[in-house]
Amino acid sequence: MATKLFLIAIAIYRLMVTVGLTTLGPNELLHLSTNRAEVEAASVDFGRLTQAEPVAVFHPRSDVDVADLVKSATTSTAGFTVSARGHGHSINGQAHTTDGVVVEMGRRGDVNGPSRPKVNLREEYVDVWGGELWVDVLRSTLEYGLAPRSWTDYLYLTVGGTLSNAGISGQAFNYGPQISNVFELDVVTGKGELVTCSNKINSELFHAVLGGLGQFGIITRARIALEPAPQRVRWIRVLYSNFTEFTKDQEYLISLHDKPSSQKFDYVEGFVIVDEGLLNNWRSSFFSPKNPVKISSLGASNNGDVLYCLEITKNYFDSSESVDQEIDALLKKLNFIPASVFTTDLPYIDFLDRVHKAELKLRSKGLWEVPHPWLNLFVPKSKIAQFDKGVFKGILGNKTSGPILIYPMNKHKWDERTSVVTPNEEVFYLVALLRSALENGEETQTLDYLTHQNRRILNFCEDHNIGVKQYLPHYTTQQHWITHFGDKWSHFQKMKTEFDPNHILATGQRIFRPILDVNNVALR
């Protein structure tokens, strides 16, 4: 390890000499850290399912720093792998690299660090550093009365991280995922080139990087679309005991995407309740802890059966009078359990940041930094009823160990030129099993049990030709990746050859093996 670090440091220093930056040594100039705590932190992620230790952690102050590092990795005799890391919220080590360098894209509070978000009021966009947290993007844009249009449920994720996957939440039916709301990117390719790209300029790179799992470049800047930010949110939950009625209503609500704002909800999600208990879950604090709501109190006790919760919101500015009328008109068209309407009203920023509040509570109980064997699937509309019967009412066995989200999206809101893979139907569902493993809990809460259950779910989908696609995918062989990408594989492979020919980027995804010789030299 020490020898590898020495070779990497020499490679970086030689590059600095070549471009005339000789006043500082490589560790000072490029912020290459071998601090034990930093290296160990970079070797784990939110999933806590795998561990891979890098040689060093790199803290860039600019996109030029990132480009110089990657160029060193590809042009020196000490070729090495490079992985960008945002907030460390991957599940299966996707941002890891063994014996390489992890680029820590997050801020360190350094006044000389990357540029802060810059809002363009006239054209309604914001330019942000790839390592910027979405919560900080929100705070910056709200100062101008604006906000991004499409979100993730959790805001303590980096811009570059979510754009490398898709970035989805309950607004996706209306605006598409976050990758459908980007005007322009700055990307450091696997060749160490800093490239500006958009729909019109270097469009192949632009579309490849969006949803590209970090395979083609590191996003250092993103230009994000904005809209006027509402002031408040009416947050509504209603219950269903009939899955057909539940999905029918969800699909109806997302079909209103082209209607005026007064005739549709602004956010449509849902979740599954497979065990008796509170209507709350850790993702949010919809109900006050002092006033919890039990399913049995609704006159809709599930008696061991599955219930489904539709979660919807209406944004508004100052007066809620017209909002009440709009909500009533929409709710009248739905077929939920009549006694199960629950509403709360809160500031817009509080709704968007709802999961973080739950995070703080779990951290205080020591329940956040535990293994998270999450499984996120895109399920085609035509198979969702079969999935419900086989998984929600079958494999799960009336136990959850965490929230289970389910909500539909419109495929035409996704740009097929991006690298993301979705089912080949106009409407498809996200099913997200967001479980936490507790080794000192019941057997059904252990990591082994939940991991085995995930395999059973995937096997069920394969055996019954459900046609799912993994979101935040994880595979261990290239053949599985080829199957995952399907018709997109040949283009994906072509883009890899074009923009990262030595396969040094994002090796934790396990899609391509680095092309290094026995001396770890990148072969060009």
Indicate which residues carry an active-site annotation.
Answer: 89, 153, 269
The full length of the chain comes to: 524
Cα–Cα distance measured from residue 50 to residue 94, given in angstroms and rounded to the nearest whole number: 10
Token couple for 152: 């993730």
- The tokens 């006027």 sit on which residue? 228
- Residue of 438, 508, 524, 523 lying closest to 92 (CA atoms): 508
Asked if 97 and 54 count as a contact pair (C-beta separation under 8 A), the reply is: yes
3-state class (DSSP) for residue 388: helix
Distances (CA, A) of 181 to 124, 194, 218, 227, 482: 12, 22, 18, 11, 27
Pair 506, 218: CB distance under 8 Å: no
Euclidean distance between CA atoms 352 and 153, whole angstroms: 7
For the CA atoms of 229, 233, 239, 240, the dihedral, rounded to the nearest 10 degrees, stands at -30
Cβ proximity of 202 and 209 under 8 Å? no
Using DSSP bridges, classify how beta strands 101-104 and 82-85 pair: parallel, antiparallel or unpaired.
parallel
Site of tokens 């809002």 = 119
Q: Cα angle vertex 243, ends 300, 372, to 5°?
A: 90
CB-side neighbour CA atoms (13 Å) of 48: 12
CB 146 within 8 A of CB 119: yes
* CA-angle at 182, arms to 179 and 184, nearest 5°: 130
Which residues are bridge partners to 469 per DSSP? 378
Q: Which helix (H) or strand (E) holds 1?
A: none
Burial class (CB in 10 A: 0-12, 13-18, 19+), 391: buried
The residue type of 303 is N
